[in-house]
Amino acid sequence: MARAYTIATAALTIGTPIKWLDNVLSHQRVSGVAQERQGVSRRLTVEGLVVLALAVLLIQELGLPTSRAIAVAEGLAKNQGRFAGSRGLNLALDISSFRAELLERLETAVEIAPVPRRGRPPKTQTGRLD
């Protein structure tokens, strides 16, 4: 099984707020992102991170809506950085250098991203919420 990363690590890697990324993944299907039932944390593979990073680039550089940016990003990721639109638009990206830069940022993010707490929160000494 491929290594999977948390939302916090992914958000730090692609330079977005955790809340934004969580909202996007709640409303959009992205290849490389494992989503199960409520209460189970999402897991993102490197392929999912590449698609999301490409989508962020397309949103920032071209102003595409999120759903369209994800569709184009998946096309770029599947076709070695090439995307041909239905009306003759062609996009090209050096996907290998983009991926290498993303993996460097991921390496850093893994070291500093918060580790999600598991289990019930600890009880307070007084029994009150302070």
CATH topology of domain 7-112: Multidrug-efflux Transporter Regulator; Chain: A; Domain 2 (1.10.1660)
The chain-wide mean pLDDT, for the chain, equals 86
- The structure tokens listed for 25 are 């993944």
Helices (H), 1-130: 7-14, 18-27, 46-62, 66-78, 95-112
- What pLDDT, in 10s, does the model give residues 97-109? 999 999 999 998 9
Query: Percentage of residues in the chain with pLDDT exceeding 90?
Result: 56
Query: What confidence category does residue 1 fall into, taking pLDDT thresholds of 50, 70 and 90?
Result: very low
Among 49, 57, 37, 65, residue whose Cα is nearest residue 13: 49
- pTM here is 0.82
Angle formed by the axes of helices 66-78 and 46-62, nearest 10°: 130
Beta carbons of 43 and 82 less than 8 angstroms apart:
no
- What pLDDT, in 10s, does the model give residues 41-68? 788 999 999 999 999 999 999 999 999 9
3-state secondary structure of 101: helix
